[in-house]
C-alpha cells in the first residue's frame, strides 16, 4: 500500500449508490478537497453473465457493457484519472448489503477483477484505461470463506510493483462474521459504526477493542471511524457534528487510527444540518479527522 506520508488522517467516502442533487457526480467528487480516498460502490455480484461480475452504480450509470451486467459509465475513465491526478486513491468496493454469493473461487475471481479493473488485460474494461488503486471488501453475507485467499491472490497479481490497497468495511461487532480473519490481511479497515449497537456513544469502547486486536495481529493496518453522512443515510448511528467530534477525539490517540469514513459522499455533501460554521458535513469530517 502506498499513501502519501503526509496523509496521516484521511477522509474516505463511498460513492455510486446515492444521488441527492443534480450536481452530484464522480467528477464533482474528484474536485472535492475534503476527500482523500474514493470507494466506488458496488461490484455486487461475484459471478453474473458470462461468469463475469456485475457492477451497479445506479443512479449514475444507466447502461451495461454489451453481453454483461457490468455498468457502463462513459465518463468514469477520465473521472478516475482526474481523482488520481488530484492525489486521491480510487478503490472498487466488492459486496454491499445485497450481495449474497459466497467466495467459492478466489483465484478465478481475483484474475477477473484484476483484468477488468486493475493492471491486467481484457477486451472488456468497464473503466477503459483507468486503473483502480485497490479493492474494498464490504462483505455482509455472513460467510467468511475465501476472502483471505482472494486478498493473497490480488497481492500476488500486483507484485512486483506492489502499491495495491486492500481495504474492508467490517461491522463494528467483533469478530466480523462476514470477513472473519481476513480483516488481519487488510491495509485499511473502515469500521461501520452504524446500524449496530456499537455505534454512537459506544464508539470509543468498540474502537479500543478493534485497535488492540489489530495491533496484535497487523500493527500496520489503519482503522477508520465509519459514520453515516446524514440522518437518512442509515437506520441508526448518525452523529450530530459536535457529538461526532467529541467521540472521534477520544480515539485519535490510538497508534492505528487512520481517520474517518462516511456512507456516502452525496449524503454528506448535501447535509447542511451542522450547528457549526462548516459548509457541509464533508467539510466537517475533514476538520474532525
- The domain spans of the chain are 10-288
Q: Is the pLDDT of residue 16 over 70?
A: yes
**What's the predicted TM-score (pTM) here?**
0.96
Mean pLDDT in the chain? 95
- The SS3 assignment for 93 reads strand
- CA 226/CA 173 separation, integer angstroms: 13
Q: Summarize the confidence of residues 228-238 as an average pLDDT.
A: 96
Task: Give residue 3's pLDDT.
Answer: 64
Task: Give residue 277's pLDDT.
Answer: 77
Task: Give residue 173's pLDDT.
Answer: 98
- CA 160/CA 158 separation, integer angstroms: 6
- Where is average pLDDT lowest: 72-76, 115-119, 183-187, 239-243? 239-243
* Sign of the four-CA dihedral 8, 14, 19, 24: positive
Task: Give residue 57's pLDDT.
Answer: 97
Per the listing, cell 484505461 goes with: 129
Q: Which three cell numbers stand for residue 41?
A: 460502490
Confidence of residue 6 (pLDDT cuts 50, 70, 90): very low
CATH homologous superfamily for 10-288? Glycosidases (3.20.20.80)
| Positions marked active-site | 140
| Cα-based distances in Å from 286 to 11, 38, 256, 269 | 6, 14, 18, 12
Q: What is the pLDDT of residues 158-172, one digit of tens each?
A: 998 889 999 999 999
Amino acid at each position: 500500500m502506498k499513501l502519501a506520508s503526509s496523509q496521516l488522517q484521511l477522509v474516505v467516502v463511498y460513492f455510486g449508490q446515492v444521488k441527492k442533487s443534480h450536481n452530484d457526480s464522480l467528477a464533482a467528487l474528484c474536485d472535492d478537497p475534503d476527500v482523500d480516498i474514493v470507494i466506488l460502490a458496488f461490484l455486487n455480484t461475484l459471478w453474473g453473465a458470462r461468469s463475469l461480475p456485475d457492477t451497479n452504480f445506479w443512479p449514475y450509470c444507466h447502461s451495461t457493457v454489451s453481453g454483461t451486467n457490468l455498468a457502463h459509465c462513459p465518463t468514469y475513465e477520465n473521472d478516475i484519472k482526474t481523482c488520481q491526478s488530484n492525489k486521491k486513491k480510487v478503490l472498487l468496493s466488492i459486496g454491499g448489503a445485497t450481495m449474497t454469493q459466497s467466495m467459492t473461487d478466489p483465484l478465478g475471481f481475483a484474475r477477473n477483477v484484476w483484468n477488468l479493473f486493475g493492471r491486467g488485460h481484457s477486451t472488456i474494461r468497464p473503466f477503459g484505461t483507468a486503473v483502480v488503486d485497490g479493492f474494498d471488501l464490504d462483505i455482509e453475507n455472513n460467510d467468511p470463506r475465501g476472502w483471505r485467499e482472494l486478498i493473497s491472490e490480488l497481492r500476488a497479481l500486483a507484485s512486483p510493483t506492489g502499491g495495491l490497497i486492500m481495504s474492508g468495511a467490517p461491522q463494528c461487532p467483533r469478530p466480523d462474521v462476514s470477513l472473519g480473519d481476513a480483516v488481519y490481511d487488510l491495509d485499511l479497515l473502515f469500521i461501520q459504526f452504524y446500524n449496530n449497537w456499537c455505534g454512537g456513544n459506544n464508539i470509543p469502547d468498540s474502537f479500543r477493542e478493534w485497535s488492540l486486536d489489530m495491533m496484535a495481529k497487523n500493527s500496520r493496518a489503519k482503522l477508520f471511524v465509519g459514520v453515516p453522512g446524514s440522518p437518512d443515510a442509515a437506520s441508526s448511528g448518525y452523529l450530530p457534528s459536535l457529538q461526532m467530534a467529541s467521540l472521534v477525539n477520544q480515539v485519535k490517540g490510538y497508534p492505528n487510527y487512520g481517520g474517518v469514513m462516511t456512507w456516502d459522499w452525496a449524503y454528506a455533501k448535501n447535509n447542511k444540518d451542522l450547528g457549526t460554521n462548516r459548509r457541509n458535513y464533508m467539510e466537517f469530517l475533514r476538520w474532525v479527522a
